[in-house]
Amino acid sequence: MTFQFENKLPKVVLVGPTNVGKSTLFNRFLGKQKSIVEKEPGVTRDFLEAVCFWRGIPFILIDTGGISKSKLPLREKVMEQVDSALHQASLILFILDAKKEIGVEEEEVASHLRIKFKGKPVLLVANKVDLPKDEAAISDMCRLGFDFPYPVSAIHGTGSGDLLDVVASHLEKRDVEIPEPAIKLCLIGRPNVGKSSILNRLLGGSRVIVHDEPGTTRDSVDILFNDGGEEYFSIVDTAGLKKRSKVAQNVEFYSRTRTIQSLKKSQIALLILAADEGVTTQDKKIAGEISKFGKGVVIIANKWDQIDAEKKREIEKFRLYVQRELYFISYAPVLPVSALTGYGLNKILPTVQHVFRCFNQELDDKKIKKLAQDFQVFYKEKFQSFQVLGNSPPSIRIKSRGSKDVHFSLQRSIEAKIREVFDLTGTPLKIKWLKSY
């Protein structure tokens, strides 16, 4: 996978201990709530990135997980992600809490930056300078071996513009055309079905943390990429959707909210199932969300390597089983894959491109009128008119004669006939039913 425009833009990485306000400052710089902010330490795990503009200079801003000595979940994995981001950095913003004394943790982060990332420019930032009196304590930070810290209050915005001026002065202005994604994808599914593993396989690297612990992904990680052609994809790896009754913590609530927001913004949903577990009740509920928002959909049955050899020979039978269980999105293609072995992954993007074309097609008026005439004869003139309304997804309006509602079985039959005429693979068909009085 290539990231041509990203490689041409400078990258500014926010780094520091846990709970110093990196994510708040990240959101402040972007002018929107992109990263989850909570008092609980270790909320950010994968690094988040977004294109930021200041004084006419575009750059990629990266928010990383907090560096901590304590045994937070996935600490080593988080550190791998932090170092991966720092290796790409054009400029490092070392964020500290102005209200906290310098301790071993802060000194270790400073030492890590000086030794492992020697030669990369570092700006020391004293966050949480919410009142003038808070500024008096920040001079002690100079003993970490960097220039005098820049005081900011991420929560109030004080000093953030001045800091961005300094950031811009360190960056070279580059004329880079930032592409708009042609296809917006959303990876969605239950916790621990392999969403992040599939994303890493598609991108050809360890872009997001993968672990056996359910709920590893918390923020929705948005990545722009292409497959070597001209078409760009925007793909979002979302937090696993748990049953509502099991969403207990604030972080889980915000993760769920972000996942639903990401689904709403997408065009195509990649619904990830665990093939070895079959279709669960929660899978059905998630499929219902996809259907409700009228998204194109590809069903990806991961962990195909866990299926025994006899069942593997009955792929078509498995596909029919999934489509029967998820009957309300039975139009979705089903791809058995294995993120572990790579089996079937090469079919994902071509299938997505096909579904996208179906999702955006304009239904041919002549074919619709011909269908209307056939329906008039077959159903004894129960219908007055058929009209194409639009696409993304394809939509039509059908006006029936008389004041009675068209029976749902007849509605299904008509939709099936329309799907026989048009290729609507992975695509919902919106039909607006009207009665004439």
For residue 193, the domain's CATH number is 3.40.50.300
* 175 located within any domain: no
| Average of per-residue pLDDT across 427-431 | 93
Lowest mean pLDDT among 282-286, 340-344, 381-385: 381-385
Question: Is residue 109's pLDDT more than 80?
Answer: yes
**Which pLDDT score is estimated for 293?**
94
**Which pLDDT score is estimated for 126?**
93
> How open is the CA angle 307-310-311, to the nearest 5 degrees?
50
Q: How far apart are CA 333 and CA 271, in angstroms?
A: 11
Helix (H) or strand (E) holding 279: none
Residues 161 and 290 in one domain: no
Lowest mean pLDDT among 132-146, 173-187, 273-287, 350-364: 173-187
| Average of per-residue pLDDT across 234-241 | 70
Contact 31, 50 (CB under 8 A): no
What share of the chain has pLDDT > 90, as a percent?
Answer: 34
At residue 272, φ and ψ (nearest 5 deg) are: -95, 125
In DSSP terms, which residues pair with 92 in a beta bridge? 13, 122
**Which pLDDT score is estimated for 38?**
42
Residues 162 and 46 in one domain: yes
| Average of per-residue pLDDT across 252-276 | 83
Residues 110 and 257 in one domain: no
**Which pLDDT score is estimated for 351?**
96
Residues 129 and 71 in one domain: yes
Domain end marker among 327, 342, 360 = 360
CA distances from 9 to 5, 25, 378, 402 (A): 7, 20, 61, 62
Domain end marker among 147, 169, 191 = 169
Read off the tokens for 362. 């304009």
* 178 located within any domain: no
**Which pLDDT score is estimated for 212?**
42
| Average of per-residue pLDDT across 51-79 | 76
Question: Is residue 245's pLDDT more than 80?
Answer: no
Q: What is the pLDDT of residues 281-325, one digit of tens each?
A: 999 999 999 999 999 999 999 999 998 888 778 899 999 999 999
Residues 312 and 388 in one domain: no
Q: How far apart are CA 222 and CA 238, in angstroms?
A: 9
Helix (H) or strand (E) holding 372: helix 365-378
Residues 188 and 309 in one domain: yes
Q: How far apart are CA 144 and CA 85, in angstroms?
A: 22
* 303 located within any domain: yes
Residues 420 and 327 in one domain: no
Residues 69 and 211 in one domain: no
**Which pLDDT score is estimated for 255?**
63
CA distances from 37 to 41, 168, 336, 341, 376 (A): 10, 25, 36, 36, 58
Question: Is residue 203's pLDDT more than 70?
Answer: yes
* 174 located within any domain: no
pLDDT winner (highest mean) among 74-78, 142-146, 194-198: 142-146
Question: Is residue 45's pLDDT more than 60?
Answer: no
**Which pLDDT score is estimated for 41?**
44
**Which pLDDT score is estimated for 333?**
97
Residues 45 and 74 in one domain: yes
Q: How far apart are CA 244 and CA 292, in angstroms?
A: 17
Q: How far apart are CA 238 and CA 255, in angstroms?
A: 8
Question: Is residue 249's pLDDT more than 60?
Answer: no
SS3 245: helix
Confidence of residue 71 (pLDDT cuts 50, 70, 90): low
Contact 9, 176 (CB under 8 A): yes
* 269 located within any domain: yes
* 162 located within any domain: yes
* 177 located within any domain: no
**Which pLDDT score is estimated for 90?**
93
Residues 20 and 155 in one domain: yes
Residues 127 and 243 in one domain: no
Q: What is the CATH number of the domain that holds 416?
A: 3.30.300.20
**Which pLDDT score is estimated for 303?**
93
Helix (H) or strand (E) holding 232: strand 232-237
What share of the chain has pLDDT > 70, as a percent?
Answer: 79
Average pLDDT, the chain: 81
Residues 211 and 77 in one domain: no
**Which pLDDT score is estimated for 19?**
84
DSSP class of residue 254 equals H
Question: Is residue 223's pLDDT more than 90?
Answer: no
Number of folded domains in the chain?
3
* 176 located within any domain: no
Helix (H) or strand (E) holding 324: helix 315-325
If 0-12 CB within 10 Å is exposed, 13-18 middle and 19+ buried, where does residue 407 land?
exposed
Identify the domain containing residue 383 by its residue range.
365-435
Domain end marker among 169, 194, 226 = 169
